[in-house]
Amino acid sequence: MINKIHNITVAFLVPTLLFTIVTEAQQAPQYTQYMYNTTVLNSGYTGTSDNFEANLLYRTQWVGLDGAPETQSFTVQGRVGRKIGLGLSAINDNIGASNNVQVNGHFAYQINIGYTTKLSLGLNAGLDILSVDWSKGNFNNGLDPVFSENVNKTRPIVGFGAFMYGTKWYLGASTDNFLNSEIYNDDEREVTDRKSQYYFMGGYVFDLSSVIKFKPSILTKYVAGAQLTLDVSANFLIQEKVSVGLAYRYDDAMSALAGFYLGKKFFIGYAYDYSMAGLENYNNGSHEIILRFMVPNRNKRALSPRFF
């Protein structure tokens, strides 16, 4: 009897949730390892490191639920000259019947505002490509006109980011896109509403000893009409080779993180999320893997990783 109730709940809850996300508010994907994937959230981060960096991230959310979110992102960025940062990002996000691809070019300019403090102002511009293929789902009423016409739309993206940092801390504020828009199909029974996401972030690195660094960090996301998202994380860097930590996303998930520096050029990180949003009995958690490739600036001697 209990299993039947669970099956009925999942059968009702999951399609309703996915349909709501696709048709009412097309929101940006979330990342647990945002501290290693900052460029996709804040264009001001572009070029702030002395290294040339390329990141590849894969995230699968709510494993075991059909149509659950799955995200891949790729970023490449670096500094040109002393004050200019250039980069490129691409995000592929799938949920249910929808696929969303975003491609952005990034530009940032750094301003010295103190002996060790800098402010980097960034812009991103690109395209948002949304497609919804209703044939990928099963519906009780396949004749409903809402599901009779697929969605294929391309829209512009223009965003801004500010990233202020020193040798051991950072603060950031950004939006992925200023341009709000709504998509209707021909009979105006289906709407996809894209609203601007606003991000606020910060972090500090403490030297606990000669071999251990501690970095607490925070990320908040605000979207009009949605609940404020709050991520808090705490990571330890041990002997500049191993990173371990915990994270909490308010009213959503608890996470464990681990990462390894393979020499000076490679970093691999993994995060596991345990859902606390009411779906924990129906999925096997979320998994996220990030690969980072770094080419140190030969003109500067990096004594240790900056850890952000």
The residues spanned by each domain of the chain are 2-295
Please report the pLDDT score of residue 258 as a whole number.
Answer: 98
Question: At residue 16, does pLDDT exceed 50?
Answer: no
Averaged pLDDT for residues 143-163:
79
pLDDT at residue 94 in the model: 92
* Mean pLDDT of all residues in 92-96: 91
Backbone angles phi, psi at 182, to 5 degrees: -130, 145
Mean pLDDT of 70-88: 95
- Cα 3 to its chain centre, rounded Å, is 34
> Does residue 2 surpass a pLDDT of 60?
no
Over 70: is that where the pLDDT of 55 sits? yes
* Structure-model confidence comparison of residues 5 and 146, the more confident one: 146
Per DSSP (E only), the strands in the chain are 52-60, 70-80, 84-95, 98-112, 118-132, 151-165, 169-175, 181-184, 191-194, 197-204, 206-207, 212-223, 229-238, 242-249, 253-262, 266-275, 286-295
Task: Note the pLDDT of residue 305.
Answer: 55
Q: Point out the least confidently predicted range of 36-45, 58-67, 249-258, 263-272.
A: 58-67
pTM of the model: 0.84
Q: Six-digit token pair at 137?
A: 């789902």
Q: What is the mean pLDDT of residues 178-195?
A: 61
Q: What is the pLDDT of residues 97-109, one digit of tens each?
A: 889 999 999 999 9
Q: Provide the pLDDT confidence category of residue 291 given band limits of 50, 70 and 90.
A: very high
Instruction: Let me know: does 158 contact 179? Beta carbons within 8 Å.
Output: yes
CA 263 to chain centre: 26
Which residues face 216 on adjacent strands? 234
Q: Burial-class residue 116 by CB neighbours within 10 Å (0-12, 13-18, 19+).
A: exposed
Closest residue by Cα to residue 260 from 252, 270, 250? 270
Tokens standing for residue 301: 């001697």
Mean pLDDT of the chain: 83
pLDDT of residue 304: 52
* pLDDT at residue 36 is higher than 50: yes
Q: How confident is the model at residue 65 (pLDDT cuts 50, 70, 90)?
A: confident
**pLDDT attached to residue 5:** 36
Options 2.40.160.40, 3.40.50.2300, 3.10.129.10, 3.20.19.10; CATH for 2-295 is: 2.40.160.40
Q: Please say if the pLDDT value at position 110 is more than 80.
A: yes
Averaged pLDDT, 218-239: 91
